[in-house]
Chain A
Amino acid sequence: MAKKSGGSVVWSLAVPVALLAIWEGLSRAGVINPMILPSPSAVFLRWIAYAKPMMPFDPVEGTYVAWLFSGELLHDAAASLYRVVMGFLIGAGLALPIGLLMGTSETVYRLINPLLQILRPIPPIAYIPLAILWFGLGNPPAFFLISLGAFFPVLMNTIGGVRTVDAIYVRAARNLGASGATLFWRVILPAATPHIMTGLRVGFGVAFIVLIVAEMIAVNNGLGYRILEAREFFWSDKIIAGMISIGLLGLAIDTGLSRLSDHLLR
C-alpha cells in the first residue's frame, strides 16, 4: 500500500516537475521576457518575500509569534479569509432557512420561486455598481457581493435536498410515530444533509470567486487587491505568487469543508 502510494506520488509529480523545469530553462536562456512570464524560481523567491515579516525581529514591537505573522501575505490572507467567511455566513445563513421553508411548503415555494428564477441568472459581479452605491467602499459591499455568490447555490441545493428526500424515510418515520416538527428535524433535515452539504461547498466556491473580484474594487488589502496592485507595478512575479496563495487558501478551505461533510455524512 505504502509502496503503491509512493509510486503514485512520483507519477503525479512527473508532469508538473517537467513543465517547471522547461519553464525555468527557457526563462534562464532568455527566451521568455521576465516581465511577461517570470521564472518559477523568481516567483518562489517573491512568494517567500511576500510571506516573511517585513521588519527584522524587535522585542520592543511585540512577541516573536506576532512578528512571525507580521508578513504581508498573512495579513492579506487573513483579510480575505475574514471577508469570504463573513459573506459566506450571511449568504448561506439566509439561504438555509429560506430553502428549508421552500422545500417543505408548496405554497411558499410557489410564491417565491418565480422571483428567484428571475434573480438567479444575474451574476453577483453585475451587482458591483449597486453594491458600491448602496454600501460605499470597504468591507460592506464585499460582504454583500460574496453573500450573493453563496446564496443561490446553497438555496437551490437546500430546496432540492428537502424536496427529494426519499419518501420511504418519511413513511417509515410516520409509521414509527413521528410527525410535524420532529419529523422535520429528525428525518427530513438529516436526509437532505448530503444535498445541503453539496450546496455549501458549491456556494463557498462561488463566494471565493466573488471575493477576489470584490477585493479588486473596493478595498485596499487582501489577496485579490494584492495581485491587482502588483499589476500596477508590473510585478508579474508577485501576481503569480498572489495567485498561488489564492489557490492554496481556496484548497485549504475546501479541504476543511470536505472533512466536515465527510464527518456529517459518515
Chain B
Amino acid sequence: MSASDAARPEIVIRGVTKVFEAEALGTVVALNGIDLDVAKGEFVCLLGPSGCGKSTLLNAVAGFSLPTSGSIRTNDVEVTAPGPDRAMVFQEYALFPWMTVAKNVAFGLEMKGASKAEIKEKVDGLLATLHLTEFRDRFPKDLSGGMRQRVAIARVLAIDSPVLLMDEPFGALDALTRRNLQDELLRIWSEWRKTILFVTHGIEESIYLADRIVVMTYRPGRVKKIVEVGMPRLRDVSSPEFNTLKRELTEMVMEEQRRHAEAETRPAMAD
C-alpha cells in the first residue's frame, strides 16, 4: 500500500448520528457522533452487543438508511443511495430463490450491462474460487447455509466492488463452517485487496479477522474503543496473545451487554 492510499481513506465517517422514531420505545438515538476512517484494503470489524447500532451504521454506509446528521463518504463520494460500489453480504444470504447459483452470481454483472462472454468468464471463475462449480445449476434452497453464504460472497465479488459490507455474514452458521468461511474470506481479502467493514457480535471472530476492531457502546451507539490487532495471520485462537486480547474485549463488550440487559428489564419493573 502506498503512502497516498493510506492518506486518503476509503470510507470516511464524520459525526454520524441516527435517530429513529420507534412506536414502542419513543425516540431512539441509535448512533451518536460516530467518527471513523477505514483505509483502503483495511479489514475493520464493528463489535458490540445487539442494540449498539453496528448494523445501523453498516446500513448507513450501504445507503439503505441514511444518517440523520453527519456525513459518510466512500472513495471521496458522499453516500446518498445504495450502489454496487459498496456491496453488501447479509446474514440471511438474501439470494434470489428463483435463480440458480450461477444466475445469482451473474445478477450484478447483468445489471451493469456486461456482455454474455464476460459474464460467463467471470461467473465461472468465481464459482471455481469459491468451490461452487458443481452447484452452478442448483437453486439456493438445495444448498446448506455455508454454501449459500459462499454464493452470496461470489455474487458481490462479481461486481468488483472496492468495499465489502458484511452484516454478521457467518452468524447463522455452525462453528466449523464459520471458521472455514472465515479462512476463505481472509484468502479472498488478501488476494483481492478489498476494504471490508464487518459487523459481528462474535469477539473471537473479530480478533481472528480484523486489522482493527471498533467496539461500540449500547444505545446511543458510540465508538467505545478502537483496538488494533497486531498479530500476523492466520491467527492462532489458542495463543496467549489472542486470549489476552479476547479477555480485554470481552470485558468491554460485557459492560455494554449489561447496560443492554438493564435497559431491557427496566420497563418490565416499572409495570
Residues on A facing B (Cβ under 8 Å): 168-169, 171-178, 182, 186-187, 190-191, 193, 265-266
Report the separation of the CA atoms of residues A149 and B269 in the bound assembly, to the nearest whole angstrom.
54
In the complex, the answer to whether B107 meets A175 with C-beta atoms within 8 Å is no
Cβ of B37 under 8 Å from chain A = no
Provide the residues of chain B in CB contact with A186, threshold 8 Å: 107
Q: Is the CB of B98 within 8 A of A176?
A: no
Alpha-carbon gap, A171 to B111, bound state (A): 14
Query: A171 contacts which chain B residues (CB < 8 A)?
Result: 64, 82, 88, 90, 94
CA separation between A171 and B96, bound complex, in Å? 11
Instruction: Determine whether the beta carbon of B96 is less than 8 Å from that of A177.
Output: no
Tell me, rounded to whole Å, the shortest Cβ–Cβ distance linking A189 to chain B: 10
**B62 surroundings in chain A (CB, below 8 A):** 175
Q: A177 and B88: CB pair below 8 A?
A: no
Given the complex of chains A and B, what is the CA–CA distance between A171 and B92 in angstroms?
Answer: 12
Assess whether B112 is in contact with A169, with CB atoms less than 8 Å apart: no
Q: Are A175 and B111 in contact (CB under 8 A)?
A: no
A168 touches B155 (CB 8 A): no
B40 within 8 A of A: no
For the complex formed, measure the closest distance between the CB of A96 and the CB atoms of chain B, giving whole angstroms: 18
Contact A169 B96 (CB under 8 A): yes
Q: How far is the CA of A169 from the CA of B140 in the complex (A)?
A: 13
0/1 interface trace, chain B 110-153, chain A, CB 8 Å (1 if under): 01100000000000000000000000000100000000000000
The answer for the CA separation of A182 and B111 in the assembled complex, in Å, is 8
Please give the distance in Å from B81's CB to the nearest CB on chain A: 8
Residues of A within 8 A of B87 (CB): 175-176
| Contact sample, A vs B, 14 pairs, CB 8 Å cutoff | A169-B94, A171-B64, A171-B82, A171-B88, A172-B90, A175-B62, A175-B83, A176-B87, A176-B159, A177-B83, A178-B107, A178-B111, A265-B98, A266-B139
Nearest 4 A-B pairs (CB), nearest first? A177-B111, A176-B108, A172-B94, A177-B84
**Which residues of chain A are within 8 angstroms of B82 by Cβ–Cβ distance?**
171, 174-175
User: What distance in Å separates the Cβ of A195 from its nearest Cβ neighbour in chain B?
Assistant: 13
Residue picked from B83, B94, B112, most chain A C-beta under 10 Å: B94
Q: Chain B interface mostly helix, strand, loop or mixed?
A: loop
**Distance A186 CA – B156 CA, assembled complex (angstroms):** 17
Contact residue among B90, B92, B96, B139 (Cβ-Cβ distance under 8 Å from A190) = B96
The residue of chain A having its C-beta at the shortest distance from the C-beta of B111 within the complex is A177
Q: What residue in chain B is nearest A265 (Cβ atoms)? A: B98
CA distance A174 to B82 in the complex (A): 6
Contact, CB under 8 Å: A168 / B159: no
Q: Which residues of A contact B54 (CB under 8 A)?
A: none
CB of A238, distance to nearest CB on chain B (Å): 47
Nearest chain B CB to A131 CB, angstrom units? 39
Which residues of B sit under 8 angstroms from A187, Cβ to Cβ? 96
Establish whether residues B86 and A175, one from each chain, have CB atoms under 8 Å apart when the complex forms: yes
Tell me the bound Cα distance from A173 to B94 in angstroms.
9
Does more than half of chain A's interface fall in helix, strand or loop, or is it mixed?
helix
Please, which residues of chain A bring their CB within 8 A of the CB of B155? Answer: 176
Residue interface bits B65-108, CB-to-A below 8 A is 1, else 0: 00000000000000001111011101010111011000000011
For the complex, what is the distance from the CA of A190 to the CA of B112, rounded to whole Å? Answer: 20
Residues of A within 8 A of B81 (CB): 174
Q: Is the CB of A193 within 8 A of B98?
A: yes
B111 cross-chain contacts in A, Cβ below 8 A = 176-178, 182
- Nearest-Cβ distance from residue A262 to partner chain B, whole angstroms: 13
B94 surroundings in chain A (CB, below 8 A)? 168-169, 171-172
- Smallest beta-carbon distance B106→chain A, Å: 10
What are the residues of chain B within 8 A of A176 when measuring CB–CB?
Answer: 84, 87, 107-108, 111, 155-156, 159
Give Cα A92–Cα B99 distance, bound, in whole angstroms: 26
Besides the contacts A175-B83, A177-B83, what 18 more A-B pairs have beta carbons closer than 8 Å?
Answer: A168-B90, A169-B96, A171-B90, A172-B88, A172-B95, A172-B96, A174-B82, A175-B82, A176-B84, A176-B107, A176-B108, A176-B111, A176-B155, A182-B111, A186-B107, A190-B99, A191-B98, A266-B139
Q: How far is the CB of B78 from chain A (nearest CB, A)?
A: 17
B57 to chain A, nearest CB (A): 16
Distance to closest chain A CB from B158 (angstroms): 9
Chain B residues closer than 8 Å to A172, beta-carbon distance: 88, 90, 94-96
Cβ contacts under 8 Å, A265 to chain B: 98
The answer for the CA separation of A168 and B107 in the assembled complex, in Å, is 15
Closest Cβ of chain B to A55, distance in Å, is: 52
> Are the C-beta atoms of A168 and B92 separated by less than 8 Å?
yes
Contacts of B86 in A (CB 8 A): 175
A174 — which chain B residues lie within 8 A by C-beta? 64, 81-82
Query: Are B64 and A177 in contact, with the CB atoms below 8 A?
Result: no
Which residues of A sit under 8 angstroms from B88, Cβ to Cβ?
A: 171-172, 175
Residue among B82, B112, B159 having the largest count of chain A Cβ atoms under 10 Å: B82
- Cα distance A265–B97 when bound, in Å? 9
A190 to B81, CA, bound (A): 24
> What separation, in Å, do the CA atoms of A168 and B62 have in the docked complex?
13
Residues of A within 8 A of B95 (CB): 172
